[in-house]
Chain A
Amino acid sequence: MSNDLHSLDRAIELALSVGVLMSGACLILGLWLGSTPLLRWGLVLLLATPMARVVVVTFGLFQRRDWLFASISLWIFLVLASAASVGLHLRP
């Protein structure tokens, strides 16, 4: 039943690893150089990593014609996207 999803594991792992490595590199450099823009980028990349994972899963499920779970995953993406857009429009 859930065996067909194991082929998605690699893609998820890749998305998470790339996000984490890029974010980690920005954070190390940012702390080392005392660069605020780099720190900000590092944290934004970290924020984007779960979203990238959701995109990968949604795409993979649509590809597998698993419509129910693909729509569930799409819904999660929309919730995250609205959180991001609300966040962007908040004024500090």
Chain B
Amino acid sequence: MAGTSALSHGDDGLFDPDSAPPFPRSVTIAVVIPLPTALLVLTGAATGLVGSLLGLGGGVFLVPILTLAMGVPIRAAVAASLFSVIATASASATVNLSRGLVNIRLGLVLEVATSLGGLAGGLAAAYLSQRQLFLTFAITLLAMGIAMARRSGRRNVIADLATDPGPLGGRLTEAGASYVYRVRRLPLALGASVVAGTVSGLLGLGGGIVKVPVLNAFCGVPMRVAAGTSTFMIGVTASASAFLYFGRGDVALPLTAAIALGALPGSLLGARFSDRFGTRSLKVLMTGVLILVAVRMALEAW
């Protein structure tokens, strides 16, 4: 596998045995340090950029890249991914807020579900086999991708501005026109959020990949608001589980720091450019991503 040489306990000067890691999982740290910092920062930036374009958080790409291409142990990769998700969410939420793409009330209600899921997923991560996880996740993603592809043409906003958006709905101005949307099937949105939070805690994927398609395809939330509100939430979701990874000593400091540092400017850039993408291309891109990652995850489980 590529990068095997970079994984050996290095005599290549980058790992200094005198500055011994402060906690016992020194193996993880010794393994991870020899990867060039610049490469990790760039990886964090690239995944942060694509992640915030899609409202996902970037973990979808980061975990496969770190584990498959760079040979980072899965637990360290998931921990790094959780921190990059927090960085992405925090950096790009400011852009989305000023554009009115965050529905704070809806975000709060769903965060109750995602944060509990994140806590549960973060706790369960220590006990479950990664093989089972990858396979379950591949199936979930594939289902999401299919649901997205089948319903992507649906209009779910109401042009009549006199309609009451309800306590959780809202208004959106897009391309000069104003729309009203109502949130439908809230229990479904809450259920999807628990699943999203759990998946986030287990595999380090902010959870947007589960919530955004469900909110858009089934709950009447416009794509941009679904993505913007999801980005607003995933920081909270990810931090609920990241605390546990941090406490368990699964966080490889230099690796995670480099990835998170790159994710900050990357996701800010992605959030700024996201309005140049048509809603249509956003949906097509999202469907492609879901299926691609599903196949990758299934191969990993094999």
Q: State the interface size on chain A (CB cutoff 8 A).
A: 49
Q: Which residues of B contact A39 (CB under 8 A)?
A: 253-254, 257
Q: Which residues of B contact A2 (CB under 8 A)?
A: 103-105, 165, 170-171
Residue of A50, A72, A73 touching B239 (CB-CB under 8 A):
A50
Q: State the interface size on chain B (CB cutoff 8 A).
A: 60
B214 at the interface (CB under 8 A from A): no
B89 at the interface (CB under 8 A from A): yes
Q: Are A72 and B109 in contact (CB under 8 A)?
A: yes
B83 at the interface (CB under 8 A from A): yes
Q: Are B247 and A90 in contact (CB under 8 A)?
A: yes
CA distance A16 to B236 in the complex (A): 12
Residue of A1, A53, A54, A87 touching B243 (CB-CB under 8 A):
A87
B167 at the interface (CB under 8 A from A): yes
Q: Are B241 and A83 in contact (CB under 8 A)?
A: yes
Within the complex, what minimum Cβ distance (angstroms) separates B265 from chain A?
9
B173 at the interface (CB under 8 A from A): no
A-B pairs with CB below 8 Å: how many? 154
CA distance A23 to B265 in the complex (A): 13
Residues A36 and B236 in contact in the complex (CB < 8 Å), given A13-B98, A31-B258: no
Q: Which residues of A contact B256 (CB under 8 A)?
A: 43
Q: Which of B67-125 contact A (CB under 8 A)?
A: 83, 86-87, 89-91, 93-94, 97-98, 100, 103-105, 108-109, 111-112, 115-116, 118-119, 122-123
Within the complex, what minimum Cβ distance (angstroms) separates A28 from chain B?
6
Residues A13 and B122 in contact in the complex (CB < 8 Å), given A1-B170, A30-B257, A47-B243: no
Residues A72 and B108 in contact in the complex (CB < 8 Å), given A30-B257, A43-B83: yes
Q: Which residues of A contact B122 (CB under 8 A)?
A: 83
Q: Are A5 and B105 in contact (CB under 8 A)?
A: yes
Residues A31 and B257 in contact in the complex (CB < 8 Å), given A43-B246, A79-B115: yes
CA distance A24 to B86 in the complex (A): 12
Q: Which of A25-49 contact B (CB under 8 A)?
A: 27-28, 30-31, 34, 36, 39-40, 42-44, 46-47, 49
Residue of A1, A31, A46, A57 touching B83 (CB-CB under 8 A):
A46
Q: Are B105 and A47 in contact (CB under 8 A)?
A: no
Additional A-B contact list (5), CB under 8 Å, known A23-B260, A51-B239: A13-B94, A43-B257, A49-B86, A53-B90, A83-B240
Measured CB to CB, the residues of B under 8 A from A are 19, 21-25, 37, 83, 86-87, 89-91, 93-94, 97-98, 100, 103-105, 108-109, 111-112, 115-116, 118-119, 122-123, 165-167, 169-171, 235-236, 238-249, 251, 253-254, 256-258, 260-261, 264
Measured CB to CB, the residues of A under 8 A from B are 1-2, 5-6, 8-9, 12-13, 16-17, 19-20, 23-24, 27-28, 30-31, 34, 36, 39-40, 42-44, 46-47, 49-51, 53-54, 57, 69, 72-73, 75-76, 79-80, 82-84, 86-90, 92
Q: Can you name 13 A-B pairs with beta carbons within 8 Å?
A: A2-B105, A12-B94, A13-B94, A27-B257, A31-B258, A31-B261, A42-B257, A43-B253, A46-B90, A50-B238, A83-B241, A88-B243, A92-B249
